[in-house]
């Protein structure tokens, strides 16, 4: 292990602060080879699949990647937009809107960047760029409201791994979760109410969260409890009785038991039980993506209708809704307490000048060494 060469510390610099909005990641293109590259990186993360490495290496490389890459590529092709993968497009727009919202709240000196845990732009490249730009304070804001070791925990790993080689570290803050944050629940509530105002109310509201292996719950992962709390808080805001909503888990992967009840069989059962209209919301996803647009809005709709259900509504993710951008700004603000984010133009000028002085000093030192 060797540390990076860095410019010498320049005393008295008014440095910058940054928020990094981090999402899961997505392939670069809806093609077999791009999906394979993405799945290989994602599914090689020991936080995601907790199977002894040698055994998993064989399963992943000999079975999963050869078969799943092509199948998933077809699914990605069905949701791909002209601008690219919906997950990345929404995360980028959220970052831009968050920058605007923070500026409006007076946090002029704050950079907002987006990064992907897998694929691009990668966390290491984004964190390195922030350092090069003189950011000495970094807050990591995962796109996941509910904490899970498989997602949020893995972002912590990637951030720490990156900084292992850095000598002069920034001040670091992590948003661990916001499953019960007032601003998040409020944004969900408004999104559901707006949908019901436009389209009327369903017989049942189904809240579908991404699943994880049941084993992770038994080993202490709080994800399941946080999903249930989100659901309970949202149902209370919507004044729903326990009979009017159901919580399910989707996207099961492999043969092991995952969190139950599963989304698709529940929808089929609801249809068989005579539920005519169901509305589905996916509160654990803050951006629409493959799992919501294909697995829910296409596949799950088909499952419900094929089992006799009549009307299926998918309520979109929070994406760039003004309520959610305000929510993100509130959450970010709470993690910037104590940061000198309200820079005057003179202070910003000083940042630039100090950075130039630092570079010049580094060059002089380099030349005389
Ligand atoms: C193999 C195990 C998986 C675990 C554990 C897991 C947890 C998990 N994932 C999300 C959010 C997303 N997952 C997405 C896609 C996706 N997830 C898995 C597997 C696991 N996820 C796979 C193999 C895939 C790829 C698609 C496929 O081949 O089926 C996505 C969408 C990405 C996109 O490009 O649109 C998201 C978002 C959470 C929140 C989570 C645990 C809480
Ligand atoms: Fe997933
Ligand atoms: Fe899926």
So what's the ipTM on this one?
Answer: 0.97
List the domain range (segments joined by +) for residue 203: 182-315
Question: Nearest bound ligand to CA 72?
Answer: 1
Ligand 1 neighbourhood includes 98 CB (under 6 angstroms): no
Residue 366 placed within a domain: no
Pick the atom of ligand 1 nearest to 223's CA. Answer: 42
Q: Are 155 and 237 in a shared domain?
A: no
Neighbours of ion ligand 3 (CB under 5 A): 251, 291, 295
Strand pairing category for 110-118 and 171-174: unpaired
Q: Are 163 and 268 in a shared domain?
A: no
Q: Are 164 and 100 in a shared domain?
A: yes
Question: Nearest bound ligand to CA 50?
Answer: 1
Residue 6 placed within a domain: no
pLDDT at 327: 98
pLDDT at 196: 98
- Over the chain (369 residues), the average pLDDT of each successive run of 10 is 66 74 98 98 98 97 98 98 98 97 89 97 98 94 98 98 96 98 98 98 98 98 98 98 98 96 98 98 98 98 98 98 98 91 67 74 67
Å from CA of 210 to ligand 2 middle: 7
Pick the atom of ligand 1 nearest to 48's CA. Answer: 5
Q: Are 47 and 131 in a shared domain?
A: yes
Exposure string over 321-332, b if 16+ CB within 10 A, otherwise e: bebbbbbbbbbb
Q: Are 122 and 208 in a shared domain?
A: no
Question: Nearest bound ligand to CA 223?
Answer: 1
Q: Are 198 and 306 in a shared domain?
A: yes
Q: Is the peptide bond before 121 cis (omega within 30 degrees of 0)?
A: yes
CATH number where 264 lies = 3.40.50.1400
Q: Is 291 marked as a binding-site residue?
A: yes
pLDDT at 369: 46
Q: Are 26 and 172 in a shared domain?
A: yes
Ligand 1 neighbourhood includes 230 CB (under 6 angstroms): no
Ligand 1 neighbourhood includes 23 CB (under 6 angstroms): no
CA-nearest of 203, 245, 201 to 227 is 245
Strand pairing category for 135-142 and 110-118: unpaired
Å from CA of 255 to ligand 3 middle: 14
Q: Are 328 and 253 in a shared domain?
A: no
- Distant-in-sequence, close-in-space partners of 208: CB < 8 Å, separation ≥ 6: 248, 249, 250, 263, 280, 281, 282, 296, 300
Q: Are 274 and 336 in a shared domain?
A: no
Residue 364 placed within a domain: no
pLDDT at 12: 47
**Residue 319, phi-psi category: left (phi > 0), alpha (psi -120 to 50), beta (remainder):** left
Q: Are 226 and 260 in a shared domain?
A: yes
Ligand 1 neighbourhood includes 289 CB (under 6 angstroms): yes
User: pTM score, two decimals?
Assistant: 0.92
Q: What is the tally of structural domains in the chain? A: 2
């Amino acid at each position: 292990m060797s540390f990076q060469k860095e410019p010498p510390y320049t005393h008295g610099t008014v440095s910058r602060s940054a928020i990094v909005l981090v999402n899961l990641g997505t392939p670069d293109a809806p093609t077999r080879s791009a999906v394979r590259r993405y799945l290989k990186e994602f599914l090689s993360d020991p936080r995601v699949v907790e199977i002894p490495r040698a055994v998993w290496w064989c399963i992943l490389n000999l079975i999963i990647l050869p078969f799943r890459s092509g199948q998933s590529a077809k699914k990605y092709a069905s949701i791909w937009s002209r601008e690219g993968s919906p997950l990345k497009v929404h995360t980028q727009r959220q970052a831009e809107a968050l920058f605007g919202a923070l500026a409006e709240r007076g946090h002029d000196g704050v950079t907002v960047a987006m990064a992907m845990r897998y694929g691009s732009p990668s966390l290491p490249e984004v964190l390195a760029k922030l350092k090069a730009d003189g950011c000495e304070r970094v807050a990591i804001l995962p796109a996941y409201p509910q904490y899970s070791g498989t997602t949020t925990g893995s972002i912590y790993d990637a951030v720490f791994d990156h900084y292992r080689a850095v000598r002069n570290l920034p001040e670091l803050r992590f948003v661990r979760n916001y499953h019960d944050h007032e601003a998040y629940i409020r944004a969900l509530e408004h999104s559901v109410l707006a949908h019901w105002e436009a389209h009327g109310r369903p017989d049942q509201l189904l809240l579908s969260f991404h699943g994880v292996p049941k084993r992770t719950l038994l080993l202490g992962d709080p994800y399941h409890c946080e999903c249930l709390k989100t659901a309970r808080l949202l149902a209370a805001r919507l004044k729903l009785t326990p009979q009017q909503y159901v919580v399910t888990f989707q996207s099961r992967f492999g043969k092991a038991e995952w969190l139950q009840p599963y989304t698709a069989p529940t929808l089929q059962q609801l249809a068989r039980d005579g539920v005519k209209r169901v509305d589905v919301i996916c509160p654990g996803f803050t951006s629409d993506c493959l799992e919501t647009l294909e697995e829910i809005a296409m596949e799950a709709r088909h499952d419900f209708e094929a089992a006799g259900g009549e009307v299926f509504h998918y309520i979109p993710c929070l994406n760039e809704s003004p309520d959610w951008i305000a929510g993100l700004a509130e959450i970010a603000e709470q993690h910037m307490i104590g940061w000198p984010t309200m820079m005057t133009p003179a202070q910003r000028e000083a940042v630039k000048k100090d950075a130039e002085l630092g570079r010049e000093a580094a060059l002089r030192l380099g030349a005389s060494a």
